[in-house]
A and B are shown apart, each in its own frame.
Chain A
Amino acid sequence: MIDFTEEQLERYSRHILLDDVGVEGQEKLLQAKVLIVGAGGLGSPAALYLAAAGVGTIGIVDSDVVEISNLQRQIAHFSKDIHFAKVESAAEKMKAINPDITVKTHRECLRAENISGIIKDYDFIIDGTDNFPTKFLVNDACVFLGIPFSHGGILRFNGQTMTVIPYRTACYRCSFRNPPPPDAVPSCAQAGVLGAVAGMLGTIQAAETLKYITGVGELLTNSLLTFDAKTMIFRKIKLNRQANCPVCGTDPQITELVDTEKTVCGLS
């Protein structure tokens, strides 16, 4: 049992007041380790909320530097941060919100050969990546290591997210088998995205993380939450674990991590 300081009791009082969280839940948060993959549109709000919530150790992975076109939605980065590493920029804001936490920066791209070493010590992973090869890599690595994670994607006015508990609930590949052809799917860089949509989705991912750590409520498992900010229609689509899933099915064809195509790290 952690001995909360006066300052901690005050800082986290609105969590502690929640019957479902309380001091026990706050203690779990302070002891938790969460990794955020991508310090961008989704990673920014997730990082700030998890820092504010007192998640004790937060890792953040990104190889990019801040560019002016990021600032429309990547709210952890300020104009003064342009040309600086996104992980350092995000870490500075997280520590400024909450000096109580430890932030670990990983300024690199996730690849088949390094991902397991980076993610293995974390309790939960937030996927806030911008490209499909990395999304599938995060899925596969989390499945192999049994680490729960939150998938997130945004485009234009739309967002989607699901939470995966490996081997217990549907994984990303159960529904999205393989990365689509590189030129078939427009990225935010090509198609645009409403800045606040990134905030909506990243914040849902942060809430799922806090729910997972504290054991509160029902996770967004075996379902894909999609929303269209133009109509504000939210849908929860039921998903099932698929016995023929190539990674978590009964006869998996994918048994080791591979880079599906040249990583697009550093491209903007």
Chain B
Amino acid sequence: MHISVNGEQHEFNEVEVSISRLLEIRQVESPEMVAVQINGEFVEMQNYPNTYLKSGDDIEFLYFMGGGSQ
């Protein structure tokens, strides 16, 4: 299976990769720090375990970024 994560191409041998699994593979330490979208559509956090990726999917991890004033 061939997917794109934040613009980088990834090849997976696993047949079923959920968002939860992808967060593990990418070693995202605090999933609550990222918003996930697949092909431009927002995915609710509670749906991470049962949302499976398809070949050709375009995944974006959008990081919460504060900063600014202090």
Contact = CB atoms under 8 A, between A and B. Distances in A.
Interface residues of A, number: 47
B70 A40 contact: yes
Ranked 4 nearest A-B pairs via Cβ: A153-B65, A40-B69, A38-B69, A154-B67
B70 A235 contact: no
A175 B62 contact: yes
Interface stretch (A12-20, A123-131, A211-219): A123-131
Contacts of A129: 66, 68-69
A158 interface: yes
Contacts of B68: 38, 40-43, 127-130, 152-154, 188, 198
Nearest to A126: B68
Contacts of B7: 235
A155 B67 contact: yes
Interface residues on B, range: 20 to 34
B14 interface: no
A175 B44 CA distance: 10
B32 interface: yes
Given A176-B35, A180-B33, A235-B6, A159 B65 contact: yes
Nearest to B36: A175
B30 A155 contact: no
A268 B32 CA distance: 24
A187 interface: yes
Interface in B16-60: 30, 32-33, 35, 37, 40-42, 44, 60
B62 A237 contact: yes
A184 B37 contact: no
Nearest to B6: A235
A157 B16 CA distance: 34
B11 to A, nearest CB: 21
A128 B70 CA distance: 10
